[in-house]
C-alpha cells in the first residue's frame, strides 16, 4: 500500500511538471529561503536538551515468530534497539520495560550512554511470556517518566499482539484502570511534552487503540519489522523536533524593548516619551537615538522602524540602516532616526506665546528569519514574535501667537455693520418730525406755532403769559406714532418754582403739560413721523 501511494504521488508530480512546461509558466520561487531546520537545531543546541525515552518491549512467546526477513521478531527488536540507543545523545535518558503476563523494568531511567549491559544481562534472551499486559507496561512507563525532569518524553511500544491480560485490571480497554492511566499521562503532559509511539510488528495488534487509551494523539508507525530501524530513527527525529519546540516556546510572543534618548527627550513613569521642541517656528528636525533590546532567549529577531500617523505636522524618518535591524538573542543595538515636524504660529487675538503639541508613533515591527521554518517543518503553526511595538512620542513646545491678516478687516466690517444696525435702530426709535406743534396759553388763549423738523426740536416759547422751554421728539408705541414732549415752565407767580413735566401727544389729539396746551397739526397724517 505504501509503495502504491508513493508511486501515485510521483506520477502526480510528474504530470504537474509536464503541464507547467507545456504552458510555459515558470515555477514560483520563494524570495525568502527558509532557514534549514538543522541550522536551527545547531543554534539551539538541541542535542544538549535531554529527552526521556521509555521503550516498552513485548516479550510474549509470539515475538519468537519469524518476520518477513526470516529473523525472529524479538531478535530484530534487540538488534534495531541497540542501534537506536547508540544514536541518542549523552543528554538523553532511557528506560526499558518488558511486558508479557508480568511487567519488568529491566533498565530503570538513566543516561542513554549507560546501557552497555542491557542486551547481555538485562533483556531476556528469548521471549517466553504467555500473555501481553500493555496497560501494566504503560503504567510502568509513567513511573519511569516521573523519575525524569526532561522537558520532552516519549513512550515507544514495540509489540506484535493485542491486549491479552487475563486477571489484570487492564484486561479491558476503557476500564477504570485505563481511565486512571489516561489521567496520569495527561498530568505528565501538563508541564512538558509527552508523546506516544506505536511500532506494531504484526497485523492486528490494536496498538492504536491501546496507546489511544493513554495518549490523546499517539503516533502509529506502519507495520514493517524490516524497517524497524528507520522507524525508530523517525521517532527520534520527532522527539528532536520537540526538543527544539520546548526551547522556542520560551520566545513565543517575545518582542523587543524600545527606548528613546536624545536632546529634550524625557520618559515618564508610565512609559510615555516627551520631546521638548523649543519655541522656533518652521521646519524642525531632531535626531533621536533608539535603543532596541531583544528579549528573546533563542530566536534571532529582525526589527523594522517606521513612523505611524502624526499630529501637529509631525512625522518620523529613519536615518539608520535601509533594511531591518538584526538582533541576536539578548542583543542590544542603538540606531538613529530623524524626527521631523513643522511649528507654525498659533492664532491669537493678543501677542504672546502659545503651546505647541504634536504626536507621532515609532513603530517597531518584529519578525524572525526562523518563523517560516518553525511554522512549517517544526509544526508550530501559531509561533509568532508578537505584534509590532509602538512608542508614542509627544511633542511639547511653544510658538508665537499671531493675529491673522484677515482679522482686522473682519473686525472693521463687524463694527461698520454694527454701527449701521445701531443707526437703523436709532431711526426707528427716533423717527423724523414734520408738521407744527401748537402751544396755547390756556388762560389767555394766545397761541404759538413751533415748526417740527429733524428728529428732535427744542424751542423757547412765550405764548401769552407763558414762558417755557419745550423739547419734542417722536416715538413708536405699540405700532403707533406719538410725540414725546418735555416741558420746563417759569414759575407762574413771582417767587414760585419752575414747573417740569413730560408726556405724550397722540396724533390728532391734545394734551396739557405744566398748565400749557399742546396740539399737533399736519396736512397728511401719514407724513407726521418718518
Q: What is the mean pLDDT of each run of 10 residues along the chain (530 residues)?
A: 34 32 36 85 96 97 95 95 94 97 95 89 93 97 96 97 94 95 95 94 94 93 94 96 93 86 86 88 90 94 87 73 87 91 82 86 90 92 86 89 78 89 80 86 86 88 84 80 88 82 83 88 53
CA dist., res. 439 & res. 449, Å (int): 6
CA dist., res. 109 & res. 96, Å (int): 8
In the chain the first and final C-alpha atoms are separated, in Å, by 117
pLDDT at 11: 34
pLDDT at 349: 76
Q: Using alpha carbons, select from 152, 147, 145 the residue that is nearest to residue 46.
A: 152
Q: Is 283 helix (H, G, I), strand (E, B) or coil?
A: strand
pLDDT at 21: 34
Q: Is 352 helix (H, G, I), strand (E, B) or coil?
A: strand
List pLDDT tens digits, range 443-474.
888 888 888 888 899 998 887 778 889 999 88
pLDDT at 32: 62
**What is the secondary structure of 159-222 as a DSSP string?**
ESS--B-TTSTTSSTTSHHHHHHHHHHHHHTTTSEEEEEEEESSTT--HHHHHHTT-SS-EE--
pLDDT at 474: 85
CB atoms within 10 A of CB 482: 19
pLDDT at 116: 86
Q: Are 14 and 22 in contact (CB under 8 A)?
A: no
| Contacting residues for 50 by C-beta, under 8 A, at least 6 apart | 91, 92, 93, 148, 150, 151, 152
CA dist., res. 388 & res. 365, Å (int): 4
Report the predicted TM-score, pTM, of the whole model to 2 decimal places: 0.67
What is Dmax (Cα atoms) for the chain?
Answer: 165
Burial track 16-48 (b if 16+ CB lie within 10 A, e otherwise): eeeeeeeeeeeeeeeeeebbebeebbebbebee
pLDDT at 424: 82
Amino acid at each position: 500500500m505504501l509503495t502504491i501511494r508513493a508511486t501515485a504521488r510521483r506520477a502526480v508530480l510528474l504530470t504537474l511538471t509536464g503541464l507547467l512546461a507545456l504552458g510555459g509558466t515558470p515555477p514560483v520561487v520563494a524570495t525568502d529561503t527558509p532557514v534549514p531546520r538543522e541550522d536551527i537545531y545547531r543554534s539551539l543546541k538541541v542535542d544538549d536538551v535531554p529527552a526521556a525515552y521509555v521503550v516498552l518491549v513485548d516479550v510474549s512467546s509470539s515475538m519468537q515468530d519469524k518476520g518477513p526477513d526470516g529473523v525472529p521478531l524479538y531478535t530484530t527488536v534487540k538488534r534495531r534497539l541497540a542501534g537506536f540507543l547508540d544514536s541518542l545523545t549523552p543528554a538523553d535518558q532511557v528506560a526499558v520495560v518488558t511486558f508479557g503476563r508480568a511487567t519488568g523494568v529491566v533498565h530503570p531511567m538513566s543516561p542513554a550512554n549507560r546501557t552497555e549491559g542491557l542486551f547481555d544481562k538485562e533483556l531476556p534472551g528469548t521471549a517466553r511470556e504467555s500473555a501481553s499486559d500493555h496497560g501494566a507496561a504503560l503504567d510502568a512507563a509513567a513511573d519511569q517518566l516521573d523519575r525524569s525532569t526532561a522537558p520532552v518524553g516519549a513512550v515507544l511500544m514495540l509489540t506484535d499482539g493485542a491486549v491479552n491480560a487475563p486477571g489484570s485490571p487492564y484486561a479491558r480497554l476503557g476500564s477504570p484502570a485505563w481511565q486512571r492511566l489516561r489521567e496520569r499521562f495527561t498530568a505528565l503532559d501538563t508541564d512538558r511534552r509527552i508523546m506516544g509511539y506505536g511500532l506494531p510488528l504484526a497485523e492486528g495488534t490494536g496498538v492504536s487503540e491501546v496507546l489511544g487509551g493513554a495518549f490523546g494523539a499517539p503516533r502509529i508507525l506502519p507495520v514493517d519489522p524490516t524497517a524497524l530501524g528507520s522507524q525508530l530513527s523517525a521517532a527520534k527525529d520527532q522527539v528532536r523536533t520537540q526538543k527544539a519546540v520546548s526551547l522556542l516556546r520560551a520566545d513565543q510572543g517575545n518582542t523587543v524593548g524600545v527606548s528613546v534618548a536624545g536632546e529634550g527627550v524625557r520618559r515618564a513613569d508610565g512609559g510615555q516619551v516627551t520631546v521638548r521642541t523649543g519655541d522656533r517656528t518652521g521646519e524642525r528636525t531632531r535626531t533621536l537615538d533608539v535603543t532596541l533590546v531583544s528579549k528573546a532567549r533563542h530566536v534571532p529577531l529582525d526589527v523594522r522602524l517606521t513612523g505611524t500617523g502624526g499630529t501637529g505636522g509631525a512625522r518620523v524618518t529613519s536615518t539608520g540602516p535601509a533594511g531591518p535591524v538584526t538582533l541576536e538573542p539578548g542583543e542590544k543595538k542603538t540606531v538613529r532616526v530623524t524626527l521631523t515636524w513643522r511649528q507654525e504660529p498659533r492664532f491669537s487675538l493678543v501677542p504672546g506665546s502659545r503651546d505647541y503639541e504634536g504626536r507621532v508613533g515609532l513603530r517597531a515591527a518584529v519578525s524572525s528569519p526562523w518563523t517560516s521554518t518553525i511554522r512549517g517543518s517544526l509544526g508550530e503553526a501559531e509561533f509568532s514574535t508578537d505584534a509590532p511595538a509602538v512608542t508614542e512620542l509627544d511633542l511639547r513646545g511653544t510658538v508665537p501667537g499671531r493675529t491673522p491678516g484677515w482679522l482686522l478687516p473682519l473686525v472693521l466690517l463687524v463694527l461698520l455693520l454694527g454701527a449701521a444696525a445701531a443707526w437703523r435702530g436709532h431711526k426707528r426709535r427716533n423717527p423724523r418730525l414734520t408738521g407744527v406743534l401748537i402751544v396755547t396759553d390756556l388762560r389767555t388763549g394766545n397761541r404759538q406755532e413751533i415748526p417740527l423738523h429733524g428728529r428732535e426740536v427744542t424751542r423757547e416759547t412765550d405764548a401769552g403769559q407763558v414762558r417755557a422751554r419745550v423739547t419734542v421728539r417722536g416715538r413708536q408705541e405699540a405700532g403707533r406714532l406719538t410725540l414725546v414732549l418735555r416741558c420746563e415752565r417759569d414759575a407762574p407767580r413771582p417767587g414760585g418754582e419752575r414747573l417740569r413735566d413730560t408726556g405724550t401727544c397722540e396724533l390728532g389729539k391734545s394734551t396739557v403739560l405744566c398748565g400749557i396746551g399742546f396740539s399737533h397739526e399736519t396736512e397728511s397724517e401719514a407724513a407726521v413721523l418718518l
